[in-house]
Structure 1
């Protein structure tokens, strides 16, 4: 596979996809189709062992690397406590859970690794999927502080801060949105591109779904995405950002504001005219 040059002039000798918060590996089969190397980072030791068994051939071939560690923004200690949810593995998290739910978690001590150390170890990212409960914003800040803005990046929209960081600090201008609860329905037997060839693929429940041009529809600009997020609220949906494609140059939100202002001006002029006639 040839070298890839992104808009910043950084040449990527291979496509490396990072799955930060890999959980049980439901996204890995798709990522392995799309990359030369997939790096799965997961803190839960049991889930890592399951992924190693499930994708043993990819691990042995060197196409998949599984990092069993707590991903942190900056290295502080060689190990960190990770909180395993007793019933739902997808709710495992690095930040200490609120006291109201702490009884639902078991605490384990796991090797910690900074996000920049992981990137230096495996290479420049083509795509980063970020899904780390309660810690996405901290990782985004560290990536952008080090001027790491991959061609494709996604993060769960648990707070408006994620959107703000992508736009203001990351400099991304083109976006798509994937609804987490509807991935299996929206992307069942859908078309994905594999080495330039279209292939049918169905995404399982709780997976992150497709990224990049595999997500149908136009790329949105920041105004339009903000309006959608404001209407749908924050939650279980992923914001996808890219530096490789431009958004629709005409914002729907801008059109709406223009139309509102135009109608307001028209009404005011009519009211003034009516007032003069009455006088």
Structure 2
């Protein structure tokens, strides 16, 4: 159960808690809940939040799911513009240019803001944070790097080389690059190494496996991660069909990998 508190007294991650930052259609939220975790799901689009409330009434009532209808930003409790893309709702963003990058006109709404520190204060530090918030993923890693509280595992859309630098500044020393376009080839791990087993057919709107369920042999250091990312982007610019897809960075520490769950 998620305990709503005005301040989190412990810096230690909660082994039963996951943050889903950028809930969207709640596909990842559903997977985490079925694996037995409690979830804090952040989503700026109120329509998405309404759908999730209707989909998971029992989990909300039981305190296993907190749906936070706010926009991630660098200030707390302010009203800012959020731009909803009515055609590609997964591109909706606090940044107008990002929301309209496909040539669609966006619809502006006003949304209250929240910061990473604010979420930590209210809900505690999770075991894992999935971050996929269009246009502000690097803002998340910047805030993570300046907060003393650290989840065991983090995943974030690969925006730039700076993303790796911020994650390294946050204290993470082991990384994986995951191509999100290849999720249809991935199956859940059985027996489970995170939570309990839950079957799923991953797709491009899901973040997929996380934590110790990622291939153990694929964890690399920051320098190798940066090198591979730069090679991927260079090839993608030359021929997008040879470097198809989009990627996430997963980050942890060697100590977390060696810890027995």
Q: Which residue of 2 aligns with 1:245?
A: 257
Q: Structure 2 CA distance, aligned partners of 1:245 and 1:238?
A: 19
Provide, for residues 61-120 of structure 1, a one-character-per-residue CA deviation record: whole Å limited to 9, x for no partner: 110010011111222x62111011120111011123269758521111112222211221
| 2:164 corresponds to 1:163 | yes
Q: CA RMSD in A?
A: 2.6
Q: Which residue of 2 aligns with 1:139?
A: 140
Provide, for residues 18-47 of structure 1, a one-character-per-residue CA deviation record: whole Å limited to 9, x for no partner: 111111101012211445420000001111
Q: Structure 2 CA distance, aligned partners of 1:195 and 1:155?
A: 18
Structure 2, unaligned stretches of length 5 or more?
2-9, 237-244
| 2:242 corresponds to 1:236 | no
Q: Which residue of 1 aligns with 2:83?
A: 83
- Kept after mapping to 2: 8 A contact 1:69/1:110: yes
| 2:119 corresponds to 1:122 | no
Q: Please list, as runs of the form range in 1=range in 2, the aligned pairs for 1:92-131 lying within 5 A after superposition.
A: 92-97=92-97, 101=101, 104-131=105-132
- Kept after mapping to 1: 8 A contact 2:19/2:126: yes
Structure 1 pair 88–103 and aligned structure 2 pair: CA distance change class (3 A) = closer
Q: Structure 1 CA distance, aligned partners of 2:212 and 2:104?
A: 42
Structure number with greater CO (CA < 8 Å, separation at least 6) is: 2
Provide, for residues 136-184 of structure 1, a one-character-per-residue CA deviation record: whole Å limited to 9, x for no partner: 11121112212232110111002111112112x112111112211111x
Structure 1 pair 88–223 and aligned structure 2 pair: CA distance change class (3 A) = same
| 2:19 corresponds to 1:18 | yes
Q: Which residue of 2 aligns with 1:259?
A: none
- Kept after mapping to 2: 8 A contact 1:23/1:90: yes
Question: What's the offset of the Cα at 1:191?
Answer: 3.5
Give SS of 1:15's match.
Answer: strand
Structure 1 pair 103–166 and aligned structure 2 pair: CA distance change class (3 A) = same
Q: Structure 2 CA distance, aligned partners of 1:43 and 1:213?
A: 29
Structure 1 pair 177–163 and aligned structure 2 pair: CA distance change class (3 A) = same
Question: Structure 1 residues 86-95 or 101-110, which shifts more?
Answer: 101-110
Q: Structure 2 CA distance, aligned partners of 1:206 and 1:71?
A: 19
Q: Structure 1 CA distance, aligned partners of 2:231 and 2:75?
A: 35
TM-score, normalising length: structure 1: 0.76
TM-score, normalising length: structure 2: 0.81
Structure 1 pair 226–195 and aligned structure 2 pair: CA distance change class (3 A) = closer
Structure 1 pair 211–95 and aligned structure 2 pair: CA distance change class (3 A) = same
Q: Structure 2 CA distance, aligned partners of 1:236 and 1:105?
A: 23
> Which structure 1 residue ranges, 4+ long, deviate > 3 Å from structure 2?
9-14, 33-36, 98-103, 188-192, 194-201
Give SS of 2:143's match.
Answer: helix
Structure 1 pair 100–154 and aligned structure 2 pair: CA distance change class (3 A) = closer
- Kept after mapping to 2: 8 A contact 1:192/1:214: no
Q: Structure 1 CA distance, aligned partners of 2:226 and 2:194?
A: 33
Q: Structure 2 CA distance, aligned partners of 1:146 and 1:189?
A: 32
Structure 1, unaligned stretches of length 5 or more?
2-8, 247-279
Q: Which residue of 2 aligns with 1:210?
A: 209
Q: Which residue of 1 aligns with 2:28?
A: 27
